[in-house]
Chains A and B, each alone.
Chain A
Amino acid sequence: MSLATAAFFVFAVGAIATAILMITRKSAIPAALCLITHFFCLSGLYLTLQAQLLAALQILVYAGAIMVLVVFVIMLLNLGDEAKAVKQSQLRSVLILVAAGVMGLQLFAFLLAQQSGRAELPPTAMLVGSVGELGRVLYTEYLFPFEAVSLLLLAAVVGAVVISKRRLED
């Protein structure tokens, strides 16, 4: 087993384990910590796919910026454990059964498609994920979406300020 294969399995098991741990935590802070670990595992998976820039951005943007925001909001709200979720256990078990069925279907499709799949990364993959190539494509072919997204971020910032300031009575 090569190093890349071993890394894939370590990060894949880590990602699934932290995801399951996250949705089963009762209070929000342990769940947030599990999610941060999950983002680090995903970053490792991006590295096995030769996407270096996205692996760095995953840690900077998700584990850094977004999760810090989430943890701050959890701290501001000062919540206790979640006691309400056990109330609808009937619906819950049905949902979990449906999800298990969907997973079974995915596994079935996976086993069917095993023969026809692409087995190896092409030699160009290293180039595609590099900072230079992605920057070139982003600032030439995708220049307009890039500018549009900056407008979206501006709107989100203004919207966040307005929504969190206002009270319902006003």
Chain B
Amino acid sequence: MPQTIPLDYYLLLSGALFTIGAVGVLTRRNAIMMFMCIELMLNSVNLTLVAFSSYLGDSAGQIFVFFVMTVAAAEAAVGLAIILALFRNKQTVYVDEVNLMRW
């Protein structure tokens, strides 16, 4: 099956997605929105790994995506637990209203 899309297109796409995710993390103040933007960034890196893995014919990249997905699942569990605990104690999820660890 002939494929005519160069690898560079995938890299540019995942770079764009990573930038969008970074802008989201930096501009939003809602902890859940920041969490979802971090997921966006993780996924853009996954796309890079899969693209390299397929174009180089090496399965190591796709194995690495497995582990990134697992870490993302663990991060989702712990991160959402932290957000819930934050909301219980402070009644807010806006990160600039939380200054517990500010010196």
Contact surface of A with B, Cβ cutoff 8 Å: 2, 4-5, 8, 12, 15-16, 19-20, 22-23, 28, 31-32, 35, 38-39, 42, 45-46, 48-51, 53-54, 57-58, 61-62, 65-66, 69-70, 73-74, 76-77, 79, 82, 84-85, 92, 95-96, 99, 102-103, 106-107, 110, 113-114, 117-122, 124-126, 128-129, 133-134, 137-138, 141-142, 145, 149, 152-153, 155-157, 159-161, 163-164, 166-168
Contact = CB atoms under 8 A, between A and B. Distances in A.
Is the interface on chain B under 10, 10 to 19, 20 to 34, or 35 or more residues? 35 or more
Contact of B5 (A4, A95, A96): A4
Contacts of B11: 110
Contact of B59 (A102, A137, A149): A137
B65 A54 contact: yes
B60 to A, nearest CB: 8
A50 B23 CA distance: 30
Nearest to A12: B13
